[in-house]
Structure 1
Amino acid sequence: MKTIRLFLSTVLCVWCLFFSSINEANVSVHSDKLLASERLAAINQIAQYIDSSYVLPDVGTDVVAALKSAQNIGRFCHINSKKQFIEEIGQFLREQSKDGHLGLTFMRSDKKVTHVLQEHDEKRINNFALEQAKVLPGNIGYFKLNKFHPNEQAKQIASFGLNFLSNTSHLIIDLRQSTGGSMELVTYLVSHFIQKDIHLWDIYERDELAYRVHSHAVDREPQLLSIPLTILTAKTSISAAEFFAYTLQHLGRARIVGEQTEGLAHATGARKVNDWLVLRLPLMRPVNPITNTNWEQVGVKADKEIAKELALDWVLNTL
């Protein structure tokens, strides 16, 4: 009898695990399912946000017209999952606007609506993405930053690294794996290499000047004001990395070596579309007072164009 009870208990446990796994799978499929009415509501809300707030009004109007036209002719009727919606509608928005900052993402689990992307790559997480600050042979400083983190502590860490390298004879800043991030950190780091109160850029919201940005006083070693600078770039260097490189290049403060960058200049915000969807929406654009433009869609052109894999060796061999 005891053996029978043990057998029945084991069978029951196996069946419970079996049905539990089926239920979890069904919940997963169901949670990603997208009804036609939900798809239409999400598209209409996205169109409304773009029409009212996209950084370039004329472009926004064209994107909305294309989105609604595509919806009306049934281009999106095959989309029946949330993941598919994010991928295909997001790609459509980027293609129509030619703006790599415009797109869609799932709502975070904590329901926080933010334009800040959650990183999963260790090189953009560890030590606030400051991967290396070291002295190379010949007293050459090497500073590798993989993201401009929107965090006050990131300022301290990066500043420590730059000051540590201030007595080198030449400073190489490696942004070949660097992505977007904080405009504030860009300003802070640029301010290490120039005098305070230098007009860096104007920030526009649609057609209106929102505010002006100037360099400011930072806790830096004085040698950083005159140290020769080389910035390494790649095609995949984007956004804040481009901001930093473009600004110092046109101030005549740094040379750029490597590849022409991707060309993402707009500052991005976030809008809640519904309980599971967030729109990453470009809201502002910088205008450089020297060039009267920026690097959107054209990228930052290197002073010495060379494959990213060869850039560091080329610099070291020419110093």
Structure 2
Amino acid sequence: MTTLTKLEPAPVIDETARLLTEHYVFPEVAEQLAGLLRRRLAEGAYDVEAAEELAGLVTADLQSVNGDRHLRLKHHVDPVPTKEGAATLESMRRDFDASLGGAPRVQLLDGGVAVVELAPMLFPLEWAAEPLSAALTLASRAQALIVDLRANRGGDPDAVAFVCSYLLDERTHLNTMYWRRGERSEQSWSLPHVPGARFGGSKPLYVLSSTSTFSAAEELAYDLQQLGRAVVVGEPSRGGAHPCQGWTVHPHLEATVPVGRAVNPVSSTNWEGKGVQPDVPCAATDALDRAHALALARLAG
């Protein structure tokens, strides 16, 4: 492990390359990328003094082959723990405590239309079940619902299924994850029962997206869209469909490597690289007003 006072790129690159070849969901691409990183290291491309600068250079190279936005070398201002996934978890906990558990806004608009904002993440369900349940139960009596994901950058797939459970009437197959480790698959379904009250599967539902909407937030929008349950309003999302894990490779650097891929049971594909395409395209700043107008028109009709 390198020290805080001097950045030594070689150990960082060697460990990142090892993690790629052992864990990346696409083994052939992993070999390409590991070779690219080692070649760039030998060329002197990573001879920089700042960990943040190295993170930017390596991330650009990691995403240069297949554009996988989950494949990153992330810089952390504060020193990060060495335990796998701990760096991301610490950062998420700070955001959780500062955002009312990831449901910072529940609002009733004119005409009986509710807005539930889920941001900045869909947090681990062992933390977030209570605030998510409270927000969705409060909105369950609305005539129409707008779920605002414009500032949501991802999170826990189990939280996606939990939220979907409030927006559907029956237990429904939402997504399947295919993992590299053990070459196994894992299906995600909505829950047969939820704490609190469901909004249900028949009242008008709209999901707001932006170019910042990412990862698990994209899955939430995509699952509901593919089921024909929600109308997505706003901008195409960022396009990251591969769940990842993080490893500390330097006191201020974390390598995040996708270990699986998502396959939707309706479309037989996912949103990787292209994002969730809105049903009603508009600027993200206009999406709430647009969805509200659509909801009022549908309720009037």
Which secondary structure state, in structure 2, belongs to the residue aligned with residue 313 of structure 1? helix
Quick one: which of 89, 99, 103 aligns to 1:126? Answer: 99
Moved more, 274-283 or 287-296: 274-283
Which secondary structure state, in structure 2, belongs to the residue aligned with residue 295 of structure 1? coil
| CA gap 1:39/1:110 in 2 versus in 1, 3 angstroms | closer
Name 2:145's counterpart in structure 1: 171
Bigger-Rg structure (1/2): 1
CA RMSD in angstroms comes to 2.4
Letter in 1 for 2:101: F
Moved more, 282-291 or 81-90: 81-90
TM-score normalised to the size of structure 2? 0.86
Q: Over residues 77-114 of structure 1, what are the superposed CA-to-partner deviations in whole Å (9 max), with x where a residue is unaligned?
A: x3233333223223321233411111123484454431
The CA distance in 1 between the partners of 2:251 and 2:94, in whole Å, is 27
| CA gap 1:126/1:276 in 2 versus in 1, 3 angstroms | closer
Tell me if structure 1 keeps the 8 A contact 2:102–2:131: no
Q: Which runs of 5+ in 2 are unaligned?
A: 297-301
Name 1:216's counterpart in structure 2: 191
Tell me if structure 1 keeps the 8 A contact 2:96–2:102: yes
Tell me if structure 1 keeps the 8 A contact 2:112–2:144: yes
Name 1:44's counterpart in structure 2: 14
Letter in 2 for 1:225: G
Name 1:96's counterpart in structure 2: 65
Asked whether 1:307 is paired with 2:283, we answer yes
Tell me if structure 2 keeps the 8 A contact 1:150–1:182: yes
The CA distance in 2 between the partners of 1:160 and 1:138, in whole Å, is 22
Which secondary structure state, in structure 1, belongs to the residue aligned with residue 48 of structure 2? coil
The CA distance in 1 between the partners of 2:14 and 2:95, in whole Å, is 37
Q: Over residues 56-93 of structure 1, what are the superposed CA-to-partner deviations in whole Å (9 max), with x where a residue is unaligned?
A: 222212211221222233322x3233333223223321
Name 1:192's counterpart in structure 2: 166
Moved more, 57-66 or 82-91: 82-91
Moved more, 239-248 or 104-113: 104-113
TM-score normalised to the size of structure 1? 0.82
- Per-residue deviation, 1:222: 4.7
The CA distance in 1 between the partners of 2:89 and 2:69, in whole Å, is 15
Which secondary structure state, in structure 2, belongs to the residue aligned with residue 128 of structure 1? coil
Name 2:34's counterpart in structure 1: 64
Q: Which runs of 5+ in 1 are unaligned?
A: 1-29
**By percentage of residues, which structure has more helix?**
1
Letter in 2 for 1:131: P
Name 2:299's counterpart in structure 1: none
